[in-house]
Structure formats: C-alpha cells, structure tokens
Structure 1
Amino acid sequence: MEYINNELCLGPLKKPLAPLCANYMRPIYVYDLDFVTQRFQAMAKALKGVRLFYAMKANPNAEVLQRLKTLGSGADVVSLGEIKRALESGFSVQDIVYSGVGKTVHEINEALRLGIYQINVESLPELERIGKLALEAGKKAQVALRLNPDVDIKTHPYIATGLKDNKFGMELSLIPDLKKCLKNYSASIELVGISLHLGSQMLEFTGYQEALQKLKPVFKDLQKEFATLKRFDFGGGLGIFYDRLDLELEESLLQEYAKITLDTLSDLDCELQSEPGRWLLGHCGVLITQVQYIKKTSAKTFVIVDAGMNHLIRPSLYEADHMILPLGKSLENMKADIVGPICESSDFFAKDRSLGSVKEGDFVAVMDSGAYGYSMASVYNLQELPLEICI
C-alpha cells in the first residue's frame, strides 16, 4: 500500500481505493487481481515444477478463482460446496484435490461420481468408507494419505495442524493398518499420493524441514508396495507479515521455503504438489469500512466502524494484528480501539492503535484481508454480509 496525492492505493499498480466508496452502502472487500497474478507467478517460479492447488478456503471469490485458473492453478477444496464453486469457476475435475477431515457419505459419493483428481484421506475410517463406497459405485478412487509427522511449526495453536493432538492427518504408527485397508480395497482404491500439512502462517522452516525428512523414507517404503504412488503433496502454510508490508523479505522467505522443499524432495520419483492460500491472497485484499462514531471515555477513545468480527473474525479468533489505515492521509495521529457494531466485547479490529486522525463518515481500510476474510464472514446479529469488488 502507498499514499499517492494523499489517497491510499493498493497493489503493485497503485490503485486508489477512495473512488470505490462513491456509492458506499456497507463494508466492502476489495481484491486486486493484478496483485494476485504477481503473487501466483512469483510462487510458481520459485517452486518450479510443482503443481499448485490454490486453497479455496482462503478466498472462494469466483473472479479470484477464474484468474487463478487462467494462471495454471488447480484447486484444493474441503467441501462439496467448494467443489461446486471450483467447477462453476472453470476448473475441471482433474484440477481438484479434495481435503478435509469430515467428508460425508454424500460428499464422497459426489466426488466419486465426478471423478475428482485426488482425495486426501484424513483417517482410517475415512479410507474404509471411501473403499466401500467406491466399490459399491464401481469406481476406483485416487487417494493420498495425509500423514501427521507430529512436528511443531510454532504458529498460533488454532492454525497448527501437524501435531498428534490435532484432528488432522494420521499418525505414522497407523501405516500398517492403512496398508491393510488399501490392500483389502485394491479393487476400489488406488494410492497415488502422500499428503502433509503442518499448519498455517509459517515464517520459520526448521519444523517443516524436519517433517519432510520424516516423511521422505515413509514415501519410499510405501512406493515399494504400491507402484501407483507417484505424488508428494507438501501442503501450504507459507506465512505473510501482517504488521508491515515487506514484500522483499517475504520473497526471500519464499526462496528459502522453496530451496528446502526442492533440495529435500527432488530425488523422489514423483510429482510434487502444494496447496498455497494465504501467501497468494492475503496482501491482495482489504476490507473498507466507514467510521460511525468517535466515542471517548475516561479510559480511552473508541473508533466505531460499521464492519465487525462478523466480517473479519481473525483479530477476535487468532489475535491477528492487521494494519488499519485511513483512505485519506492524515498528518495527525490518534490512539484508539477500532471496534465494530457487534454485541460482543471481542468485536474489535485493534486495541490502543495509533491511527491517522479520523472523524465520523471517514473510511478506513483493514489491510491484508484477502485471505480468511469474507470466507469466514457471518450474518451474526443479522448484519448483512459485506460486498466484494475485484479490481
């Protein structure tokens, strides 16, 4: 972001945000598709030869999906709803990897009927269910086993997924049972991949490298028994900075992440897959909201805006620290809590934040909201969902 002629601008092409508020009705998510393009191409270049499946849960906006499809991305989905959105946005079934821990009978049957490229299996009961349903349907499911290496990547506990006390993936001790199940259902299941995902917002890679090194011999051993095993999905989770915009440092972290990945896995005889989300979309979106009141108490000042935790829950849920900037540059500063209209004390975007001086009717942008913003929004208090605009 950058101020040009005192107007806040977004993205590499420095697009002004203020004109988007000309007919303002309610909070607006704004996504810069050129910025999305730039981020995807940077990751594709760093992870050369890796097939990228965009994690749709980060942002399922149809125009975003269409842009990513044109750039060569696949789609990583976690529900039948996301499968349908991906197909409506131009992806084919051969572009879709289906993850998620709670796949229902109906969802699995639909995935089998459609012929989804790969189903990432999260538990032994799920593998058995897929085998049974595929057998009944006369199909052969292409599956990858999501293995849990019990490695900590030092992220927020709510977005860590690679520890043995997380609900995700399967412990390595379960492999003999998984092999038995695969052989029992050899007529309806084909093991094509191993999947790994340690969590989100990775900014340090010691644990990640350890996990790759743990799973590499497991992959080789399984490949000896299952000749169809040909894909290694190393997940996503590469983090971004929310407290500042430092694209150069993020680029260097991407290069480090790519080097560790490719150096560790390059001698495997397989296709490499990844499921990026936040890194591609986080910086590419903002949430624009209007100041309704400046409320002063004996303890502090509150800037009350018309967006809240119902529109962007990350600060309340993850203690996420988004930058918040006025759309018009101010030479003065004020310290305040920026809060929303929802009837919860947890309804805040920032506390004791230095903010450019704003008044009632002004607009502010909650930065870096392109991932896990609208996709996690709700109508709590029967508030309307925000608008979405792609530029």
Structure 2
Amino acid sequence: MAKIYYCPEPYPDELIGSTLVRAGRHLGLSIKRTHDLFGLTPTSHWPLLFQNQLQSIAIALGKPADELLFKHTPFLYVTSFLSYEQTARMTSNYCRSQHGKSSALSQSATIGGAVARYCEACIEDDQRVYGEDYWHRRHNLPFVSRCWKHGTRLKMSVRKNAGISVIGLPHEQHGSTVTPAFHEHIHDRLERLSIALLDSTFRQPPVVWQRSYRQIAQQRGFPRQGNQLSSIAIAKGFIGYFGKAELIRAGLNVPDKPNSWPVTLLRLNETSNVSAKHILMQVYLQCAPVPEVVTTTVPGPRPLNCKLMDPVFASAIRKRVANLAIGCRITVSQLLNQLGILQQVLHNRSMLPLTAAAIAEFRSTEFSERQTGRRPRKNFRSAKKTQRNQGSY
C-alpha cells in the first residue's frame, strides 16, 4: 500500500464506504485506483457497509480500527443478539487481522433491506454544512424506509447488489422512493427497533434471548402442544401477522415446515444470530394477536366422506355390472376390488346404504358367483361327512 498523505475525515454517522468514495473524489482518482492506493482488491464499486482489511484503512485515516467499526459501520446492529464475549471476539478478529473479511457481516446487515438508501433533505443539509453529501448509516439499516431526522421517505439506488455497493455519492443517484415491505403500522415498529440497535451496547447470550421469548409467549397464552409451545401454531400465526408475500419480499421467507426459523428462535439449543429475525420475533410477540390453536389429525388415512361417496360408489357398481360380459361370474369382493373401493366399503358398510343396495342388486343377477335365492351354498364339510358315512357301510 502506497503512503497516503491526505484522507478526508469521516463525517458523523457516515458509512466507511462513503468515506472512501469521497477520498477518491478529493484525490481525483478512479475507484479502482483508489482501491489500489488503500491496498484493496481493485473493483468497479465500493462496498458501502463494511470493508475488507479495515486495519489498513484505519491507518490511512488515522483512526483506531475499532472506532471505524463501531461508528462508521452497522457492526453494533449486526452483533446485537450475540454475547459480550462473541462480540469482543468478532471485533478483535475483524480489526486486528490484515485480512479480515466483511462478506458475512455485510450479508447479515442487508437481510430485510439490500439496497443503498438516502434522504434528499439530508443531501441538502449535508451540502450546506459540509459542502458535500455522504451516505448515512441510519438510512441503510434493514426495515428503514424513512429518514430518522426529517421523517420523509428515503430514496433507493437503482444499483441492486448484495452487500450494498455504490459508485458515487447520494446526490448523483436517480433512485425511486422506498416502499415498506410490511404494512405501515408493523413497519414503523420494525424501523424503530432497527435504528435503536445501532447505538445499543447491551449484549446477552443467545440462550437468554430464547428464554425471554419463550417467557413472553407463555405469559401471553400462546398455544401449547404437550409441555412445549406449539410450533405449528406459532409459525402459522407468524406468517398470518406479517404476510407470506411480505416476508418473501423482505428476504425472510418462512418455509411451510414445523422447524422454520421463527420456531428455532424459541427453541432451546437452536438459534439464529440474524438481527432482522430477532426484530421480527420481538414485534410478533409484543404486538401480534395470540395465535389460534391448530388442530392436527392423527397420522393415517383420512376418514371417508360417506355422505358424498355413497352415491358415487353405488353408481360405479351398477355401471360396472352393466358392462360385464355374458357368462362372467365374480364375487362381490372381486367386483369391489376391480373398482378400487373394497376397503372403503368394508370399513364403512353401515354408513353406505346406497352402496349396500347396489351390492344387493348385483347379488341377484346372473353375474354374481353367489346368487341370492337361486343356488344354495354348498356345504363342503357336510358333503365330506356324508361320503365317509356312505363308505362305512
């Protein structure tokens, strides 16, 4: 890395990528040349939220690496639901390493909102105070669609890249207005929680978060299944409150399975460190109505709708009998088996009167192997006994 004699001072709440964009502009260098100057891998854009090799950038800016990490990246938001020890370890690994990778941090910080956002009113304020505008941290958090300062809708960049990357400053964008992913009353709560986490230094182990979520669910009377909370009811209520399409649009889809991610946030020994998921869970537990009890059926075949199927079976039997060839003789079991309804009739014969009448009609025809009132059933046991008695004379 070449020696850098000048580098701009980061502005309040400015993202690290924004500072590097301004550095290139002040030095009159292209994006790739500025990457090379800071010892970074040359690319055609600047990752906005985090940067690899933060230590080298900190030296060039004359700032402690941890100060850049805490004040100019969404690191505190990303680690909000980790323990103090886990947060300290991640801080040390990212700040002290010359090859610290930012991809995992960027991915976690963009779930729920993966487009660079800016406020037009802030652009005017920044240009009036500093002579130039920049990208703000509080505008680029998941679920944030309004400016925390002016209350106006944010604009979003048309460049949609994973990790949120930019090639210029906010005033150079021609973006569209941000549309909230969820209903307005839900999105406002999500937005406030997301911004509050950016300055929070409170930490506790993931298992403590799980216990607190379970306690809230139990206090509110969420449905139970045995001794545990009903995972099916919780998942169904979660989707019903936020909306399936809305969750997918936010990149937080809930699969239709018992072990979906909202359930794991309540289950001991399973967790997720994604802050956006915890924010959704907290809003759900505090604001959503208590989910309804979900009645599950016992595994096995579904009960037959006898009222519906009785005339269908009777009609099928009569139609089959009408199409039998002359001279053909079959039993009732064979007839029903050919129609594929043998087991249904055997297990529900008392509930199928029309089917029973059709079977009785079949038994009186010449096609029945056992015809009612015509051919007496032959008693083979009596015949053998008679033969033995005749042979004794």
Say which structure is richer in helix.
Answer: 2
Say which structure is richer in strand.
Answer: 1
Taking structure 2 as the reference length, the TM-score comes to: 0.22
Structure with bigger RCO (C-alpha 8 Å, 6+ apart): 1
Taking structure 1 as the reference length, the TM-score comes to: 0.22
Task: Please identify the structure whose Cα radius of gyration is greater.
Answer: 2
